[in-house]
């Protein structure tokens, strides 16, 4: 019934392919397979990308062997680095801008002595890459969240529905729904009326494979 | 079996043992310890130092996508078993980094502000730096060495500014902007970075 999705992109500058366990809706736009260069998850559906979502240049899915990333519908990701060893969920209608780092793990033991052990074993690995075996805490970005330039979202954080994270913020704690946070570390600076988003509907878009929307 | 080593059969050091830059020949004043690997074709695009041993990296270090922007009279030293990914080191005087240091994505370490603070001097500097400023001397700019001790962890997008000493085992959270010394084993976050606890 369903067509197998293409694993290479006709407009791609990078000579790579999209891994088989990246499941994307046929209405999603993927700018380049380079975004999946660091995706080494063994999960059946390691990265899921929803309807009408755009993944632009510079987005990197740095997903460890057990990592799982889900991106909802009508999301816009532009230059984010997604470091995932457990689970990162991004809801529908999320806007995530340049140089944002979403990390569910530090990829190193917090304890200095254990970190030494890890660093000593690193040079004998091929490729030399930090292990994905360290505790990771899932990140959840709920629907309709907007994350500004250069933000970092630290392990274990949930950002509630409809919230906004100002540019260059570092989100170390959960953000309640419909809240504007900003700063480093991020603090609530304003509340948004949930009703303001009540009228948000996905526009009916004629299904099209044309990427130039 | 003879215990006497036979020089004919002695293993030759494999190329892996020596430190190497994967994308070209090292500048003559760069020294890499055994088994240290450095990637990124742009690693030395802004490496202008004329000092001897301008960049010295210890053994077993991994420098993945690191950009060494090192001025004419500047020196950088890095210890053993360090692991840096896509870090940017901006050095006009001295950056000294210990062993077992981890630096995350897009982190920046700078030992100078690059430009003067006084407005008039900044105009002079802008002219001197412009294509029309050939030969004009640039005003004096503050430089202060940065010291990062052993076992320090620096998160993604963090920035370390001039004159800072980071004590051993400190944990610099993602996105922190470090403008002052950090005590040993402290955990810091924020802009400007504040101590919020200790590493367990």
CB atoms within 10 A of CB A10: 6
The answer to whether B189 contacts A99, with C-beta atoms less than 8 Å apart, is: no
Which of residues A24 and B17 earns the better pLDDT score? A24
Say what the pLDDT of residue A211 is. Answer: 46
B contacts of A170 (beta carbons < 8 Å): 157, 173-176, 189-191
Say what the pLDDT of residue A197 is. Answer: 54
Report B:83-102 residues touching A (Cβ under 8 A): 83, 100, 102
Q: Does A165 touch chain B (CB under 8 A)?
A: no
Inform me whether the pLDDT recorded for A147 exceeds 80.
yes
Residue corresponding to tokens 């901006």: B90
Contact B154, B136 (CB under 8 A): no
What's the gap in Å between the CA of B60 and the closest CA on chain A? 6
ipTM of the complex: 0.81
Q: Does B190 touch chain A (CB under 8 A)?
A: yes
**Mean pLDDT, rounded, of chain B:** 90
The answer to whether B174 contacts A154, with C-beta atoms less than 8 Å apart, is: yes
Give per-residue pLDDT as tens, A86-114: 999 999 999 999 989 999 999 988 889 99
Contact A153, A162 (CB under 8 A): no
Mean pLDDT of B4-21: 58
Mean pLDDT of A56-60: 92
Mean pLDDT of B42-53: 95
pLDDT band at A136 (very low <50, low <70, confident <90, very high): very high
Inform me whether the pLDDT recorded for B17 exceeds 70.
no
What's the gap in Å between the CA of A182 and the closest CA on chain B? 11
| Helix (H) or strand (E) segment spanning residue A119 | helix A112-121
Give per-residue pLDDT as tens, B149-199: 999 999 999 999 999 999 999 999 999 999 999 999 999 999 999 999 999
Residues whose CB falls within 8 Å of the CB of residue A35, separated by 6 or more in sequence, listed in order: A55, A58, A59, A60, A61
Percent residues over pLDDT 90 in chain A? 77
Give per-residue pLDDT as tens, A154-202: 999 999 999 999 999 999 999 999 999 999 999 999 999 887 555 555 4
Q: Does A98 touch chain B (CB under 8 A)?
A: no
pLDDT band at B15 (very low <50, low <70, confident <90, very high): very low
Inform me whether the pLDDT recorded for A6 exceeds 50.
yes
Say what the pLDDT of residue B136 is. Answer: 87
SS (H, E, C) chain B: CCCCCCCCCCCCCCCCCCCEECCCCCCCCEEECCCCEECCCCCCCCECCCCCCCEEECCCCEEECCEEEECCCCEEEECCCCEEECCEEEECCEEEECCCCEECCCCEEECECCCCCCHHHHHHHHHHHCCCCCCCCCCCCCECCEEECCCCEECCCCEECCCCEECCCCEECCCCEECCCECCCEEEECCCCEEEEECC
Give the start-to-end residue ranges of the domains of chain A: 22-206
The torsion angles phi and psi of A165, rounded to 5 degrees, stand at -115, 120
* CATH superfamily label, A22-206: Hexapeptide repeat proteins (2.160.10.10)
Inform me whether the pLDDT recorded for B16 exceeds 80.
no
Inform me whether the pLDDT recorded for B1 exceeds 50.
no
End-to-end CA distance of chain B: 51
Contact A11, A33 (CB under 8 A): no
Inform me whether the pLDDT recorded for B4 exceeds 90.
no
pTM: 0.83
- Decide: helix, strand or coil at residue A120: helix
> Of B93, B149, B90, B139, nearest to B115 (Cα)?
B139
Say what the pLDDT of residue A82 is. Answer: 96
What's the gap in Å between the CA of B112 and the closest CA on chain A? 22
> Of B96, B100, B98, B139, nearest to B117 (Cα)?
B139
Least confident of A14-23, A45-54, B1-10: B1-10
pLDDT band at B82 (very low <50, low <70, confident <90, very high): very high
Q: Does A116 touch chain B (CB under 8 A)?
A: yes
CB atoms within 10 A of CB A151: 28
Cα gap A207→A27, rounded to integer Å: 7
The 8-class DSSP code of residue A46 comes to S
Mean pLDDT of A117-132: 86
The answer to whether B156 contacts A172, with C-beta atoms less than 8 Å apart, is: no
Cα gap A111→B153, rounded to integer Å: 10
Say what the pLDDT of residue B9 is. Answer: 54
Inform me whether the pLDDT recorded for A141 exceeds 70.
yes
């Amino acid at each position: 019934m369903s067509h197998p999705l293409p694993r290479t992109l006709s407009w791609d500058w990078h000579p790579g392919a999209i891994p088989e366990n990246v499941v994307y809706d046929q209405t999603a736009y993927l700018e380049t397979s380079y975004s999946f260069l660091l995706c080494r998850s063994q999960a059946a559906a390691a990265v899921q990308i929803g309807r009408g979502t755009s993944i632009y240049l510079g987005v990197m899915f740095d997903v460890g062997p057990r990592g799982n990333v889900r991106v909802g519908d009508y999301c816009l990701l532009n230059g984010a680095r997604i470091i995932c060893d457990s689970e990162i969920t991004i809801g529908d209608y999320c806007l995530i801008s340049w140089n944002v780092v979403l990390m569910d793990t530090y990829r190193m033991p917090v304890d200095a002595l254990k970190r030494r052990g890890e660093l000593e074993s690193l040079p004998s690995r091929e490729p030399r890459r930090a292990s994905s075996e360290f505790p990771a805490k899932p990140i959840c970005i709920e629907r309709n969240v907007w994350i500004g330039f250069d933000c970092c979202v630290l392990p274990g954080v949930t950002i509630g529905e409809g919230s906004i994270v100002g540019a260059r913020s570092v989100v170390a704690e959960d953000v309640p729904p419909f809240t504007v946070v900003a700063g480093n570390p991020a603090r609530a600076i304003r509340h948004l009326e949930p009703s303001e988003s009540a009228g948000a509907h996905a526009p009916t878009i004629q299904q099209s494979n044309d990427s130039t929307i | 079996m003879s215990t006497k080593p036979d020089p004919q059969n002695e293993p030759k050091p494999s190329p892996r043992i020596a430190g190497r830059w994967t994308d070209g020949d090292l500048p003559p004043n760069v020294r890499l310890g055994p088994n240290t690997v450095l990637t990124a074709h742009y690693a030395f695009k802004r490496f202008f130092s004329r000092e001897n041993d301008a960049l010295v990296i210890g053994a077993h270090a991994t420098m993945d996508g690191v950009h060494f922007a090192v001025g004419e009279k500047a020196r950088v030293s890095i210890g053993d078993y360090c692991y840096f990914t896509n870090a940017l080191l901006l050095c006009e005087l001295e950056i000294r980094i210990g062993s077992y240091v981890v630096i995350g994505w897009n982190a920046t370490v700078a030992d100078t502000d690059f430009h003067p603070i006084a407005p008039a001097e900044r105009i002079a500097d802008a002219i001197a730096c412009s294509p029309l400023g050939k030969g004009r001397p640039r005003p004096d700019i503050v430089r202060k060495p940065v010291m990062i001790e052993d076992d320090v962890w620096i998160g993604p997008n963090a920035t370390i500014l001039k004159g800072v000493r980071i004590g051993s085992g400190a944990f610099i959270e993602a996105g922190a902007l470090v403008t002052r010394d950090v005590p040993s084993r402290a955990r810091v976050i924020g802009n400007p970075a504040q101590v919020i606890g200790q590493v367990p």
